[in-house]
Amino acid sequence: MLDPATAGIIVMVVMVLMLGIGVHIGVSLGLGGLLGIYLTIGPDAAWAQLATVPFSTTNSFTLAVIPLFILMGALATQAGLTTDLYRAAYNWFGHLRGGLAMATTIASAAFGAASGSTVVNAAVFTRMALPEMARFGYDKRLSAGCIAASGTLASLIPPSILMVIYAIITEQSIALLLVAGLLPGLLSAAIYMIGIYVRVRRNPALAPQPDLHISRAEKWRSLRGVWGISFLFVLVIGGIYTGFFVPTYAGAIGAFGTFLIVIAKSRLTGRSLVDTFKDAGVTTSVIFIIVIGGILFARFLTYTGLVNDITDTLLALGLPGFAYLAAFAVIYLILGMLIDPIAIMVMTLPVMFPIMVGVGYDPIWLGVIAIKLAEISLITPPVGLNVYVVRSASPIPLTLEDVFAGVMPFLVLDVITLALLIAFPEIVTFLPSLMM
Amino acid sequence: MKLFSDLLRRLALWVLLVGGLGAVMSMLLGTAEVVGNQILLIPVPGARELTESTMVLIVFGALAYAQIRRSHIRVELLYLRAGPRGRAALDVAADLFALLFFGLLLWQAINEARFSWQFGEATDGLIRFPLFPARIILAVGTGLLVLQLLIDTVTDIRRIFDGSEPPDRDPVAADRPLSID
């Protein structure tokens, strides 16, 4: 049998090759983990892991929160709740200079409260908000950048699938993490809005003042379409916050409530239900295969003692805590340029989490920072996923360069948010501290 | 092969839809458990265990269909820069590695399902909920995926020669028309 360090190097090389040629991420991680266990402990141990991990990962009450939140998001998308949210935000903010971009940010953040998917968020708002902004003469870079960036808000604002994945890998409380994402998510949205306001004030050509006259009655009427989902959000997050129910039940109630809203709006047909099942089923399956692969990989790292060795070596360097945080951020941003955020978490956290906690960082706070970094990676070149989504979903001609240029100011705003979260960790820890 | 492929596609969709109904059942059970347990103080027996087994159905039931839609996530840096034949070759490599992983998983899943069935494996606790159905579902779901991967491997090898695009790409969920009116 090989020593863990040699096996570790072989596994890394094989995994990088597999990932590079486009082998599915879950498969790459799973095969990498199995190979490592095979080389260091033996074939029986490898097969034993393969026999137990896929079943124990899926046959889990705690993880049932993932498909339920996904179902909630898929139902909300099918129900066209985004249309209602955008209509309401549009009616209230559309008349301001830059108001349509602000409305997009607000509606996107609000939709993030029903859906944990940044991709769906970006795609839906591209189809809906981009033509509106184009109609009123908005700069298309500003519009596209705003949509791509606002789409990422879904991964901080609960319910967030990414947050649940972080909780699973680091064995932290899902409830605390979901609640911890709320204030940073709202802060991100607020900073986007301030950023938009400042930009259009300084350069009015970016967003001409639209000639919109919406009566007070119409404004209030548009809120009718969103009160249901607002109530549901308060119920789901309130229930988790007060400890009235566990996150899995919050997922069940969220999905059930959305289901009722969809029925009440008469937007559920047999066809749309089948589409909802398809979307929710495929998304769930894809995520779980990555998680299963990631857990197999993590087993190799922990069982062979590699994690402890790496942690001890890096902690022995005795660098200041901030240096470790900076390294953490750099690794996330680099990987984020190439790999899906869920895969980044699954690959890096088994090694990086013990180091970061060893340096003294709070595990819940670190979760929010990790997600914020993953959000940023969703809009950084060359592979910012949301940028591609906006471009491919766009009904008006847009180049990738347009969208990347458009998201740049939002990247700067994200860095400001990140700096605030680091400088004032209470923004993250305040709500969870009240729950303990 | 077309007939076999169509049959498998239909089967994969049906298993996925059963999983979807399972998700709806978990949603109703969870809601009933909160209302029953926390408000009416009447526990719903077995809700938790049933939810767990349903999870296996949701994940492994959708596995083959996710492959049919080619939705599994990969690093596309090289893929997007390759020509049609290069992409086909990369797809073949992805198929073969996936066949290796899921083939091994299928082998273990069948063993586990057989043991579970023989020994009447069940959960601990007040209600002894049988675990073998979930184990069988895991093996069946993985088996369907392995069959689909075999079909895809053949299709993708052909694509290397004729330079065609894969027959089905993942339509983004939000691709359906929406308007703000």
Enter the ipTM: 0.89
Q: Do B173 and A339 touch (CB under 8 A)?
A: no
Burial of A2 (0-12, 13-18, 19+ CB in 10 A): middle
CA distance B15 to chain A (A): 10
Question: Is A245 or A192 the better-scoring residue by pLDDT?
Answer: A192
A90 in B contact zone (CB under 8 Å): yes
- B51, B73, B94 ranked by CB distance to A343: nearest: B73
Gap between the Cα atoms of A166 and A186, Å rounded: 20
What value does the mean pLDDT take over residues A210-230? 81
Look at residue A385 and tell me whether its pLDDT is greater than 80.
no
Q: Do B63 and A289 touch (CB under 8 A)?
A: yes
Gap between the Cα atoms of B56 and A64, Å rounded: 10
Which residues 41-80 of B have a C-beta within 8 angstroms of A? 48, 51-56, 58-63, 65-66, 69, 71-79
Look at residue A40 and tell me whether its pLDDT is greater than 80.
yes
Burial of B35 (0-12, 13-18, 19+ CB in 10 A): middle
Strand partners for B122: B130
Look at residue A355 and tell me whether its pLDDT is greater than 50.
yes
Please identify every stretch of chain B with a pLDDT value under 50, giving residue numbers as ranges.
170-181
pLDDT in tens, A140-153: 899 999 999 998 88
Which tokens hold the place of A33?
A: 């983990």
What value does the mean pLDDT take over residues A144-172? 89
Which tokens hold the place of B136?
A: 């069988």
pLDDT at A116: 67
- HSE-up (13 A, CA, CB side) for residue A125: 38
| CA distances in angstroms from A275 to A77, A260, A270, B23, B66, listed in the order given | 11, 17, 9, 14, 13
Question: Is A349 or A395 the better-scoring residue by pLDDT?
Answer: A349
Identify residue B138 by its one-letter amino acid code: L
Question: Is A435 or A355 the better-scoring residue by pLDDT?
Answer: A355
Nearest residue in B to A129, CA atom = B180
Gap between the Cα atoms of A378 and A330, Å rounded: 14
List chain A residues with CB under 8 Å of B176. Answer: 275
> What three-state secondary structure class fits A341?
helix
What value does the mean pLDDT take over residues A199-221? 84
- A58, A124, A259 ranked by CB distance to B56: nearest: A58
pLDDT band at A115 (very low <50, low <70, confident <90, very high): confident
pLDDT at B169: 52
Mutate to test the interface with B, among A286, A287, A387 (most CBs of B within 10 A): A286
Say which residues have a Cβ less than 8 Å from residue A259's Cβ, sequence separation at least 6.
A75, A268, B24, B27
pLDDT at B173: 37
What value does the mean pLDDT take over residues A29-58? 95
A360 in B contact zone (CB under 8 Å): no
Mutate to test the interface with B, among A53, A55, A297 (most CBs of B within 10 A): A55
Which residues 285-304 of A have a C-beta within 8 angstroms of B? 285-286, 288-290
Burial of B179 (0-12, 13-18, 19+ CB in 10 A): exposed
Q: Do A249 and B111 touch (CB under 8 A)?
A: no
